[in-house]
Homo-oligomer: A and B are copies of this chain.
Amino acid sequence: MATEGGDRRPKYQRIADTIREAIQAGEYGPGDRLPGENELMAAHGVARMTARQALGVLQNEGIAESRKGAGVFVRAFRPLRRRGIERLSREQWGAGRSIWSADTEDRTLVVDQVGVTEEPAPERIAHVLGIGSGNAVCVRRRRFVLDGKPVLLAASYLPAALVAGSAITELDTGPGGLYARLGELGLAPVRFREEVRSRMPSRDETSRLGLSPGTPVMLICRTAFTIDGRSVEVNEMTLDSAAYVLEYGFDA
């Protein structure tokens, strides 16, 4: 690989490093167009493939993203702020509002896909719900879209025997949503646990969330517990990491 002086980095890596430093120094701001292949070829005296590789490095790091026909741009991070604790407070769903409305501040998060099915519980879900693996669960799957871009996949699992005949098994759960209905069944959640991790997306997640290269997903597994410590719902969420900041506040 071509090097300059004592510098062992391949040329495309050095060009990528130069552009990255310029971004970090604020020479290119969020949404700005980066120099294209032709400009990089002229400025650094390299072949097109080298220029393309340099821009590819920045895209794989998630710092830049390509827009078809328009070039490569500095990625903006203008996330939704998801408040884990306030959004789930009983005041909200008790008053008939959806727990999701607090997600968005003044931006509009919309469900564009929804489905309700009854399925045998996957082992990991059965384990958390304390039911036998393969026992029936009611599964509510939704996709949420912000400004036309899918940002969140959610799959909520509840023991089918608990919720049979309630609006939980229907597409529209009614005012106050799922938790209000659980309350009417004497199963009001009083405590929640959220477990958060991150990994690279599967091909299916990439396609369903429309993810750019270099974009991990965050996974939230939320479990809802009743007053007697029974887990009544597990919600597996898959979030576009470029669209979300999660916020948790708590006392010392």
Contact = CB atoms under 8 A, between A and B. Distances in A.
Main secondary structure on A side of the interface with B:
mixed
A7 interface: no
Contacts of A141: none
A35 interface: no
B193 A241 contact: no
A246 interface: yes
Contacts of A84: 248, 250
Question: How many A residues are at the interface, by size bracket?
Answer: 35 or more
Interface in A16-57: 17, 20
A244 B214 contact: no
A199 B250 contact: no
Interface string A237-252: 0000110111111111
Interface of A: 17, 20, 60-62, 79, 84-85, 88-90, 179, 188-203, 214-218, 241-242, 244-252
